[in-house]
Amino acid sequence: MGKSCISQVGRARLQSCRIPGNMIPALAAEVEHQGLKPASGSTSFGTAKSRALRPCVVLVAFLISLAILPACPRQPHVVVGCKNFTEQIILGELIAQQIENKTHLHVERRFYLGGTYIAHQSILAGRIDIYPEYTGTALTAVLKEPPGSDRKAVYGRVKSEYKQRFHLTLGPPLGFNDTFAIEIRGEDARRLHLQMLSQAAAYTPQWRAGFGYEFMERPDGYKGLVATYGLRFATPPRIMDLGLLTRTLKDHQVDVIAGNMTDGLIPALDLFVLEDDKHYFPPYEAVAVIREQTVAEHPEVTQALDDLAGNISDAEMRQLNYEVDGKKRDVKEVVREFLRSKGV
């Protein structure tokens, strides 16, 4: 490469990284000035002076590396996150693939973030740029406002408050409404001739309930549900991971659960959703939450996601969930097939 430790090519590369204060040329010149180069025909540093200064070379090289790494330009990219259950993984992958397909941006996936609180804090801290959320969840669990029943009003309220409070924007609704589903076994629904939640109140004192932690804590969850319908259970509700609820119900370990309306295992496991006849639950339209800074830097992201608006029906989301949960298929493959079928 040449005689000196730092070649002209190397110096040019270092300078291209635009280190603050033009540090790199000065450091390179100092190394050469001290005579820190191999003796002719030798692979070691030749003079006593250069050997004594060898630790300085290491230090200089280390400092240069520290300066270079953060300063060199990175490939433009966005980070997509999601919560830790099947539908969120599918939606996170859907958003990621749509951006990859429609833009030149690299997409980093940070999935399985936990519940709503962790996902929300992650986007506020800039650890992720986009994640899928539900309007009813945003309204009650994040904004701490009372539930509303009008879809457009809930979406408008959340969009306005997210912009004002958090500098976040909402993409258009994806099409489906993933409201809470109070589920029992199909055999029990047929035996007791149950259709609605208000009818089930007569039987819940003999039932064991199973709910997720977030459902127990959120304002549109357990406390409001039991108050609205006058529900009592045989034992305190079992709190468990969302992914275990349907199997636990099917295996008769509990008798009623709070799942999701688009859960693909509802028909597969012969479960029955009790009608929310008092309209307790607000709408839960799926939307993409995006940092305003990301929108400003990469407007093509919102253009790509706008193409997904209204493209996923309740039945389609339920089938996507079943492909992953029921058939144990790879999420990326399922999403790839779905996007291809939609032609978006």
Domain ranges (residues) in the chain: 8-71, 77-177+283-342, 180-274
pLDDT in tens, 240-257: 988 899 999 999 999 999
**Residue 26 pLDDT greater than 60, yes or no:** no
Give residue 147's pLDDT: 86
**Residue 277 pLDDT greater than 90, yes or no:** yes
Check: CB of residue 118 under 8 Å from CB of residue 133. Answer: no
Neighbours of 131 (CB within 10 A): 25
Give residue 322's pLDDT: 95
Query: Class of 77-177+283-342 per CATH?
Result: alpha beta
**Residue 168 pLDDT greater than 90, yes or no:** yes
DSSP string computed for 291-337: EHHHHHH-HHHHHHHHTTTT---HHHHHHHHHHHHTS---HHHHHHH
Beta-bridge partner residues of 275? 196
Check: CB of residue 272 under 8 Å from CB of residue 192. Answer: no
DSSP string computed for 126-148: TS-SEEEEEHHHIIIIIS-----
Give residue 243's pLDDT: 80
CA angle 205/257/259 to nearest 5° reads 155
Give residue 250's pLDDT: 96
- Alpha-carbon dihedral 170, 291, 219, 228, rounded to 10 degrees: 10
Check: CB of residue 208 under 8 Å from CB of residue 235. Answer: yes
Rounded Cα gap, residues 169 and 184, in angstroms: 37
DSSP string computed for 74-119: ---EEEEE--SSHHHHHHHHHHHHHHHHHSS-EEEEE----SHHHH
Least confident of 68-82, 99-113, 212-226: 68-82
Least confident of 14-28, 117-131, 260-274, 292-306: 14-28
Check: CB of residue 122 under 8 Å from CB of residue 195. Answer: no
Short-list 290, 300, 323, CA closest to 133: 290
Confidence of residue 40 (pLDDT cuts 50, 70, 90): very low
Confidence of residue 5 (pLDDT cuts 50, 70, 90): very low
**Residue 22 pLDDT greater than 60, yes or no:** no
Rounded Cα gap, residues 280 and 130, in angstroms: 29
pLDDT in tens, 235-244: 999 999 888 9
**Residue 284 pLDDT greater than 90, yes or no:** yes
Check: CB of residue 326 under 8 Å from CB of residue 262. Answer: no
Rounded Cα gap, residues 310 and 173, in angstroms: 6
Confidence of residue 74 (pLDDT cuts 50, 70, 90): low
- Alpha-carbon dihedral 191, 195, 198, 199, rounded to 10 degrees: -30
Give residue 344's pLDDT: 82
**Residue 115 pLDDT greater than 50, yes or no:** yes
What percent of the chain is predicted at pLDDT more than 70? 78
CATH architecture for the domain at 180-274: 3-Layer(aba) Sandwich (3.40)
Sign of the CA dihedral with 199 first, then 218, 139, and 325 last: negative
Identical topology for domains 77-177+283-342 and 180-274: yes
Confidence of residue 219 (pLDDT cuts 50, 70, 90): confident
Distances (CA, A) of 270 to 176, 188, 330: 22, 10, 24
